[in-house]
Structure 1
Amino acid sequence: MVDAAAEPRLTGSVPLYKNVEPLNRQKHKNYGVKTVSNPFAFLKEWHFVPAISPEFAFACGSYPIVFLGDKKMPVLVMGLRAGTNLFVDANGQFDNEHYIPAYVRRYPFVSASAQNDQPSTVCVDLAAEFVVSENAERPFFDENGEPTEYTKQAVDFVSAFENDARITEAFVERLVALDLLEKKDIKVSNPQDPENPVTVAEYWGVSNEKFTALPADKLKELHDSGDLVAITAHLISLQRWDRILRRTSLNAAAEGQAQA
């Protein structure tokens, strides 16, 4: 939390977040959160979310865990098409049979990195539907301007997530150093041209061939660092592409029936 006079200037953007401000005990003294009927509506149009390596073992049973972009950022795949999340229904409810990503549980709070080696600032997305400026069920601050227990827990979670994000960056750097990542894709059959399937997703993933060819000393290093668990979870998670493809097909069929 910051005071108004010391409020930093924010730059850049963060997936999911729309109107982020540093949490401020003066400016946001009456703010807090309330219960809404569609708590995960903010996630409906996001088909993937950033992932942290410590959660791979929990998430691998629900979603493909893949690496994207030049920085090989790990993400949890929650849909095949931009604008469609297959695990959030039209009423903004999350499929409770599946793991809720840490990135999602952190919302509406987020950490903003400060310049000149200053401590990070905890921020809040004021555009979140459940963030209100009056009559909050769980206020951010008490009558004395001190963070409530709810806010303290949120700040602790943001801090832990930030630490796990650094762990994840180091994990990816080690994968790159070992040259374990390769380009992969997902193809589906093309009824109009059976001999030429259609590529529906491209990503970076750990090469089974390179992984199994690692010498014993490197495998021991991966085991000792905890990377071996994350790599194994990632490889297991790739079986979840079948779930993504199946749900995409079912959604398309339902949309077709609705239009008919």
Structure 2
Amino acid sequence: MASAPQLPLFYNGLEPLSSDTHADYKVRPQESAPFLVGQHAIPITVDEFPLVQRHMPIVFSVGDDAIPLALMGLNEGVNVFIGDDGKLTENTFYVPAYIRRYPYMLARLHPDAQELSLCFDPTSDALGAFDEGDALFADGAPTEVTKSILAFNESFEQAGARTQNFMKELRELGLLMDGEVSIQPDGAEQPFVYRGFQMVNEEKLIDLRGDALRKISKSGMLPLLYAHLFSLALMRDIFARQVQLGKTPLPQLGG
């Protein structure tokens, strides 16, 4: 986790969805997500902090363009919530929107384009010229299925913009610091120390006064910061899951 993931994570290519080229395309439900196997850190939006913090630790990538990440494992190549078959191992798990968005994505078709176009990963087997599934177009017009996909992606982009503003404020307030979590398993001589991420400096947060404190209180930022801090306790749960799965933890967060 040395830097923010190179977006778009998961995608092998992007192709604009077109009523001409993809007139006979259908989308079918996916029972597994093989692209998630071995993915340990997933980008999330601030809108998701209250839900994510119940299931996964929330940290921030390192670097000037830091983004929030939900940890599905403490080491690269390890995801403790996804089986080798690409299926979730839990029924009540919150799946981040970044995952649910795949294989679709809003993107600029040209660098100077003003509008975003709905695109998809052509290597995905979720959509294609199938006999079964829900049609994406009917009589040259988007179906309700496509309209719903577009609405979800638009909502995701809006949440992404709010997340960028959140990160900008975090940097301006100087609240981010290099993260470190130490886990001492029973019977181990030395603790496992995880680094390679950023976290909120709780001492600086507590010391905020005046305009700075009022600003984050009014903006709704304060509970999000504490959701992140509270979620760090789940590092030990992820560690225990890795041990249980026989995926020996390493003393850093990969990268």
Same fold (TM over 0.5): yes
Does 1:69 find its partner at 2:65? Answer: no
Q: What are the superposed Cα offsets for residues 45-99 of structure 1, whole Å, 9 maximum, x if unpaired?
A: 2111111011111111011111103111111111122222111122322222221
Corresponding residue number in structure 1 for 2:119: 123
CA contact (8 A) 1:25 1:146 kept: yes
**RMSD in angstroms over aligned alpha carbons?**
2.2
Flag the 1:152–1:174 CA change in 2: closer, same or farther, 3 A.
same
| 2:78–2:247 contact (8 Å) kept in structure 1 | no
Is the 1:32–1:131 contact (alpha carbons within 8 Å) kept by the matching residues of 2? yes
Structure 2, unmatched stretches of 5+, are 1-5, 249-255
How many angstroms does 1:186 deviate by? Answer: 2.6
| Identity across the alignment (%) | 30
> SS of 2:196's equivalent?
strand
2:175 alignment partner AA: L
1:199 corresponds to: 193
SS of structure 2 residue aligned to 1:235: helix
Task: Kindly state the Cα deviation for residue 225 of structure 1 after the two structures are TM-superposed.
Answer: 1.2
User: Residue 163 of structure 2: which of 158, 165, 168 is its match?
Assistant: 168
Task: Report the CA distance shift for 1:13/1:232 in structure 2 as closer, same or farther (over 3 A).
Answer: closer
The corresponding residue for 2:154 is 159
Q: Of the two structures, which has the highest relative contact order with CA contacts closer than 8 Å and spacing of 6 or more?
A: 2
Q: 2:13, 2:247 → 1: CA distance?
A: 36
Find 1:138's aligned residue among 113, 118, 134. Answer: 134
Q: Report runs of 4+ in structure 1 exceeding 4 Å deviation.
A: 189-193
Structure 2 contact 59–197 (Cα < 8 Å) conserved: yes
Distance 1:198 1:92 in 2: 28
- The structure-2 alpha-carbon separation of the partners of 1:47 and 1:175, relative to structure 1 and needing over 3 Å to count, comes to same
**Aligned with 1:43 (options 36, 40, 44):** 36
SS at match of 2:60: strand
**What aligned pairs does 1:68-87 form with structure 2 within 5 A after superposition?**
68-70=61-63, 71-87=65-81
Partner Cα distance (2:111, 2:245) in 1: 45
Q: Alpha-carbon deviation of 1:13?
A: 4.9
CA deviation after TM superposition for structure 1 residue 117, in Å: 5.1
For 1:239-250, what aligned pairs fall within 5 Å after superposition? 239-250=233-244
Is the contact made by 1:184 and 1:204 (CA closer than 8 Å) also made in structure 2?
yes
Output the TM-score relative to the length of structure 2.
0.86
Tell me how far apart the structure 1 counterparts of residues 187 and 223 of structure 2 sit (CA, whole Å).
42
CA offset at residue 165 of structure 1? 0.6
* TM-score normalised by L of structure 1: 0.85
- Give 1:134 shift: 2.1
For 1:213, give the aligned amino acid.
D
Q: Would you say how many aligned residue pairs link Structure 1 and Structure 2?
A: 240
> Which whole-Å CA distance do the structure 1 matches of 2:126 and 2:246 have between them?
30
- Please give the secondary structure, in 1, of the residue aligned with 2:180: strand
